[in-house]
C-alpha cells in the first residue's frame, strides 16, 4: 500500500471537480463500489498468510476511513450549496418565523370529568365505568321505571331491539354495582349517555356523572351538603342555588338543583338527586330497613355551559379550535 497517498491525492483532485451528487456517486463507486479499487484490495487478502493479512488489512481500513471521511465532507458541502442556491433562486427569507404549530390539549369535557372525579374522590367515592349498550332490565326495570314510562318510547330512546338499547343514563351502574358489592359503597360513574333529542341545550349523545352512596346512616342533609359544595367547587364562585321538589322513579324524595344564570337572569337546572327508592334496593336484595341510599346525576355539558357561558351544546363536538384552545 505504498500508493496510499496517491489514492488520497487522486480522490481530492476528483472531489474538487465534483459539482453534484451524481458525480460524487461515480467517484465513490470507482473506489468503494463492488468492483472498486479498495474493494479489490480487500479481495487480495485471501491469498496472503495470516501475519501479512493482518498487517495489510489494517492499512487498507485506514485508507478506507480517510476516503469515507472525504466523501462525507464533500456530500455535506454539496447539500449546503444546494440549499443556498435554492434560497437564492426562490427569494426565501431565512429570517421569517416558522409556521405556527397548534399543539393539542385535553378536551374541556375530559378536563371537567377529571375535576369532578378529583372532588368526589376526596369524599371517598370510587370512579367506575359501565357499558354504553345496556339492556332493558338495568336501564329501566331495576330502577323502578315502569313499562309505560315515556322515557321508554322510541322518540326518547335509541333501541336496537325490544330489550337492547343505548343507555339513557349512567344510573344503570347503580344496579350493576349493588349486585356485585355489599354496602357500604360510594361510587361515581362518568360516561356517555344517549337520548333521541337535539337542540341548543340537548344533544343525542352527552356526558353524565352518576353518583350514589349506600350506607346505614345517610340522609337528605348529607346529599344537600355534597351537592352544594360540589357546585361551589366546580363553578369556583359564589352562586345562587335552589333545590326544587321533583319526581324520579328511582328516588324518593327527589329534587332538582337550579343555578341562577347571571347572563340570562334565569334559573337553569343542572342536576337531579334524591334518596334511593326502597324498591330499587329491594331489586338488588339490599334491606331497605337497614341501609339507606342517596343518588345524584350531573349533566356535564350543562354545567360546563353554565360555567363558561357557552350557548350551544353542539360547540363541544365541532372541533372548532377557536373554542377548544381557550381551555388549554
Q: Domain for residue 97, yes or no?
A: no
Q: Please tell me the pTM assigned to this model.
A: 0.65
Average pLDDT over residues 78-98: 72
Q: Is the dihedral of CA 106, 108, 110, 116 positive or negative?
A: positive
The verdict on 155 and 216 lying in the same domain is: yes
| Structural domain ending residue among the three candidates 56, 90, 124 | 90
In a domain, 98, yes or no: no
d(CA 163, CA 165): 7
42 and 123 belong to one structural domain: no
pLDDT of residue 29: 85
Do 293 and 186 lie in a common domain?
yes
Cell representation of residue 80: 449546503
pLDDT in tens, 1-21: 445 667 778 888 888 888 888
Return d(Cα 86, Cα 63) in angstroms, integer: 35
**pLDDT (0 to 100) of residue 328:** 66
Strand segments, DSSP code E, in 53-156 are 126-127, 133-135
In the structure, what pLDDT confidence band is assigned to residue 94 with cuts at 50, 70 and 90? low
Same domain, yes or no: 177 and 313: yes
pLDDT value at position 126? 94
Is there a contact between 306 and 268 (Cβ–Cβ < 8 Å)? yes
User: Of residues 265 and 211, which shows the higher confidence score?
Assistant: 211
Maximum mean pLDDT: which of 47-51, 220-224, 322-326: 220-224
Query: Is residue 155 domain-resident?
Result: yes
Cα–Cα distance, 242 to 235 (Å, whole number) = 15
Are residues 148 and 233 part of one domain?
Answer: yes
Domain that holds residue 22: 4-90
Residue pair 42/60 in contact by the 8 Å Cβ criterion? yes
The domain total for the chain is 2
**What's the pLDDT tens digit per position in 14-40?**
888 888 888 888 888 888 888 888 888
Which is more confident, 244 or 98? 244
Query: Helix, strand, or coil here: 153?
Result: coil
68 in the same domain as 130:
no
pLDDT of residue 313: 83
- Specify whether the CB–CB gap between 253 and 277 falls below 8 A: no
Stretch 81-95: mean pLDDT, rounded?
A: 71
Query: Is it the case that residue 192 has pLDDT exceeding 80?
Result: yes
Return all residues near 286 (Cβ < 8 A) that are at least 6 apart.
178, 183, 214
160 and 280 co-located in one domain: yes
Q: What is the pLDDT of residue 214?
A: 95
Average pLDDT over residues 96-113: 79
**Which residue among 38, 64, 90 closes a domain?**
90
Q: For the chain, first and last CA: distance in Å?
A: 67
Is residue 100 a part of any domain in this protein?
no
**How does pLDDT run across 135-175, given as a tens digit for each residue?**
999 999 899 898 888 878 877 889 999 899 999 999 999 99
In a domain, 193, yes or no: yes
The residues, any chain, with a CB within 8 Å of residue 79's CB and separated by 6 or more, are none
Say which CATH number the domain at 274 has.
3.30.930.10
Percent of the chain's residues with pLDDT above 70: 93
CB atoms under 10 Å from CB of 284, counted, come to: 17
Higher pLDDT, 146 or 209: 209
113 and 86 share a domain? no
Q: What pLDDT is attached to residue 1?
A: 45
* Residue linked to cell 361515581: 188
Sheet of strand 251-261: strand arrangement: 126-127, 185-194, 205-215, 292-299, 266-276, 251-261, 241-248
pLDDT single digits (tens) 291-304: 999 999 999 998 88
Q: Calculate the average pLDDT of the chain.
A: 86
Co-location of 184 and 320 in the same domain: yes
Look up residue 318 and give its DSSP letter.
S
208 closest CA partner among 168, 268, 154: 168
Q: Is residue 103 part of a domain?
A: no
Residue 321 has pLDDT above 70, yes or no: yes
Tell me if 250 sits within 8 A of 295, measured CB to CB. yes
Domain C-terminal end among 55, 90, 125: 90
CB atoms within 10 A of CB 106: 13
User: How far are the Cα atoms of 145, 165, 204, 246 from residue 162, in angstroms, in the given order?
Assistant: 16, 8, 20, 29
Looking at the structure, tell me whether residues 62 and 185 fall in a common domain.
no
308 pLDDT higher than 60:
yes
Query: 56-70, 119-133, 184-198: lowest mean pLDDT where?
Result: 56-70
- Residue 232's region, left for phi above 0, alpha for psi from -120 to 50, else beta, is alpha
Q: Region 75-90: what's the mean pLDDT?
A: 78
Residue 96 — very low, low, confident or very high, per pLDDT cuts 50/70/90?
low
Residue 95 placed within a domain: no
With CA atoms as reference, report the closest residue to 231 among 111, 107, 116, 108. Answer: 116
Same domain, residue pair 40 and 123: no
- Nearest alpha carbon to residue 66 among 2, 4, 1: 4
**Same domain for 308 and 214:** yes
Q: Residue 231 and residue 257: Cα distance in Å, rounded?
A: 10
**Looking at residues 48-76, what average pLDDT do you find?**
85
pLDDT for the residue 93: 65
Structural domain includes residue 102 = no
Amino acid at each position: 500500500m505504498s500508493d496510499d497517498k496517491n489514492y488520497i491525492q487522486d480522490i481530492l483532485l476528483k472531489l474538487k471537480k465534483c459539482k453534484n451528487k451524481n458525480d460524487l456517486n461515480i467517484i465513490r463507486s470507482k473506489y468503494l463500489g463492488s468492483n472498486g479499487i479498495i474493494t479489490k484490495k480487500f479481495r487480495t487478502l485471501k491469498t496472503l498468510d495470516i501475519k501479512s493479512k493482518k498487517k495489510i488489512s489494517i492499512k487498507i481500513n485506514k485508507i478506507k476511513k480517510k476516503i469515507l471521511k472525504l466523501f462525507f465532507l464533500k456530500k455535506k458541502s454539496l447539500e449546503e450549496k444546494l440549499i443556498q442556491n435554492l434560497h437564492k433562486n426562490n427569494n426565501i427569507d431565512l429570517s421569517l418565523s416558522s409556521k405556527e404549530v397548534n399543539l393539542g390539549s385535553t378536551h374541556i369535557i375530559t378536563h371537567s370529568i377529571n375535576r369532578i372525579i378529583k372532588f368526589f374522590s376526596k369524599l371517598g367515592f370510587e370512579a367506575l365505568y359501565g357499558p354504553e349498550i345496556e339492556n332493558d332490565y338495568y336501564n329501566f326495570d331495576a330502577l323502578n321505571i315502569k313499562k309505560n314510562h315515556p322515557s321508554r318510547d322510541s322518540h326518547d330512546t335509541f333501541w336496537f331491539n325490544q330489550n337492547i338499547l343505548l343507555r339513557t343514563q349512567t344510573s344503570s351502574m347503580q344496579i350493576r354495582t349493588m349486585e356485585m358489592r355489599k354496602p357500604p359503597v360510594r361510587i361515581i360513574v362518568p360516561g356517555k349517555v344517549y337520548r333521541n333529542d337535539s337542540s341548543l341545550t340537548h344533544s343525542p349523545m352527552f356526558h353524565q356523572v352518576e353518583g350514589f352512596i349506600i350506607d346505614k346512616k345517610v340522609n337528605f342533609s348529607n346529599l344537600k351538603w355534597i351537592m352544594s359544595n360540589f357546585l361551589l367547587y366546580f363553578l369556583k364562585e359564589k352562586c345562587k342555588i335552589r333545590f326544587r321538589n321533583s319526581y324520579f322513579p328511582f328516588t324518593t324524595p327527589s329534587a332538582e338543583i337550579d343555578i341562577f344564570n347571571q347572563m340570562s337572569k334565569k334559573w337553569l337546572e343542572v342536576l337531579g338527586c334524591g334518596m334511593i327508592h326502597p324498591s330499587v334496593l329491594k331489586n338488588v336484595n339490599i334491606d331497605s330497613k337497614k341501609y339507606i341510599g342517596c343518588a345524584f346525576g350531573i349533566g356535564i355539558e350543562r354545567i360546563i355551559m353554565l360555567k363558561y357561558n357557552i350557548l350551544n351544546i353542539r360547540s363541544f363536538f365541532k372541533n372548532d379550535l377557536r373554542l377548544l384552545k381557550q381551555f388549554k
